[in-house]
Chains A and B, each alone.
Chain A
Amino acid sequence: QQQVKQSPQSLIVQKGGISIINCAYENTAFDYFPWYQQFPGKGPALLIAIRPDVSEKKEGRFTISFNKSAKQFSLHIMDSQPGDSATYFCAASTTYTGNQFYFGTGTSLTVIP
């Protein structure tokens, strides 16, 4: 079954707006939650990651919000730019699963100029 559920499947945002992508998980043993950005024809690249000991992590325009009790985490892209148009994947892992990484199904983001 899908260990990490991601929504929405696609998202269209105006330039300057806020893009929000949500993920939910079931396995409470997960203790590492990265977000990856993928451009067409390229491999994914790490954008930002969080451990469950903090509720928020910010790097530039990108913020991860983490709700441990709800088993949810989200990516917020502030002041979205056309160059942010890409597919975004959330993921989760733990050393207790042999370093297996479980990825969401991805969100295709389009930022309209």
Chain B
Amino acid sequence: GAGVSQSPSNKVTEKGKDVELRCDPISGHTALYWYRQSLGQGLEFLIYFQGNSAPDKSGLPSDRFSAERTGGSVSTLTIQRTQQEDSAVYLCASSLHGLYYEQYFGPGTRLTVT
């Protein structure tokens, strides 16, 4: 079946612009995660959704970052007033229910802020 998909695969934007990154999880997966992976670094947890709810938003690096999930499916990560330090690969993952279930990752969106 279809895996997790993310769009766009690459995004180049100018500093100060807003960007929206999209994640389509595997159908039926109730849990959805967003991560950021900077060059040569590990994965930085951003936010977790169970259904449409995000119990803890403390992983978001600043108030310029926001995320939502609708219909228990598609999620968008929005970065406002982008900065050069936002340049990274943004990864989305989904799992069947939550913590102890395998996370399936999408291919990521490579964001470059010039």
Chain A residues engaging chain B, CB cutoff 8 angstroms: 6, 32, 34, 41-46, 49, 51, 89, 91, 93-95, 97-106
Contacts and interface: CB of A to CB of B under 8 A. Distances in A.
Q: For the side of the interface on B, what is the size category?
A: 20 to 34
A99 to B, nearest CB: 5
Given A32-B100, A101-B35, A101-B45, 7 more contacts: A34-B103, A44-B105, A99-B50, A99-B98, A100-B56, A101-B43, A105-B41
Contacts of B67: none
A104 B108 CA distance: 19
A43 B18 CA distance: 24
19 contacts: A6-B42, A32-B100, A34-B103, A43-B105, A43-B108, A45-B105, A46-B103, A89-B42, A89-B43, A94-B99, A98-B56, A99-B48, A99-B98, A100-B45, A100-B56, A101-B45, A101-B103, A104-B42, A105-B42
Interface string B46-79: 0010100001101100000000000000000000
